[in-house]
Amino acid sequence: MKHCYVLWILLFSPPEFDSLKPIIRAISQNLYYEDVQCKIEILLGDARESIPKIKEPIDIIYQDAFSPAHNPLLWTREHFTSIRAITKDDAILTTYSIAASIRLGLYENGFYIFIHSAKLMRKSTVASLAMLEGIEYIDMELKKIRNPTAKSMRDEEYRETKRY
């Protein structure tokens, strides 16, 4: 099914995608692409098993794993610990979730929490291992006082019921 999708992109995509076609073709054939500007490697399988195997330190994580309600296992404190273990010390994680439980899971792993707001866009979370300027900072200690029942999601609470 994935190959049909790639074929569809290669045959019917608008001309704006033309420069990307060699990249799409390489990734679909080899799960890998590299040029002077970027390197793309697709790791198949459960991210909880593949992430710990990543050897090169990561700068940016785009957390797009379906919603926490639909796919809780990739939003837990343990999952963010595993991400933290492969990141550089000034890494940034961005995500559309602004839930307190998700921010707590990141905060408990040493991330500072910020909110990204822009016109015509939903608010989103930026989590950074270094303090950032020019973006709204969220004081998570204050959040915890104001919302004492909030807690991070935990892997063992979902592992048995939801296995990807």
- Interface positions with ligand SAM (CB under 6 A): 46-48, 64-66, 71, 73-74, 164
Please report how close the Cβ of residue 133 comes to ligand SAM at its closest, in angstroms.
28
Cβ neighbours, 10 Å, residue 136: 12
Please report how close the Cβ of residue 94 comes to ligand SAM at its closest, in angstroms.
12
Strand runs labelled E in the chain: 32-34, 39-41, 58-63, 87-95, 112-116, 124-128, 136-138
Nearest Cα neighbor of 127 from 115, 147, 113 is 113
Dig out the tokens for 141 from the structure: 């200690």
* Residue 48 or 154 with smaller CB distance to ligand SAM: 48
* Residue 29 or 71 with smaller CB distance to ligand SAM: 71
Please report how close the Cβ of residue 145 comes to ligand SAM at its closest, in angstroms.
33
* Residue 46 or 139 with smaller CB distance to ligand SAM: 46
Give the span between the Cα atoms of 49 and 144, in whole angstroms.
31
* Residue 125 or 138 with smaller CB distance to ligand SAM: 125
* Residue 2 or 134 with smaller CB distance to ligand SAM: 2
- The residue behind tokens 């500072």 is 112
Please report how close the Cβ of residue 149 comes to ligand SAM at its closest, in angstroms.
27
Residue type at 28 in one-letter notation: S
Please report how close the Cβ of residue 73 comes to ligand SAM at its closest, in angstroms.
6
Residue 148 vs residues 28, 40, 141, 142, 160: alpha-carbon distances, Å: 47, 41, 10, 10, 27
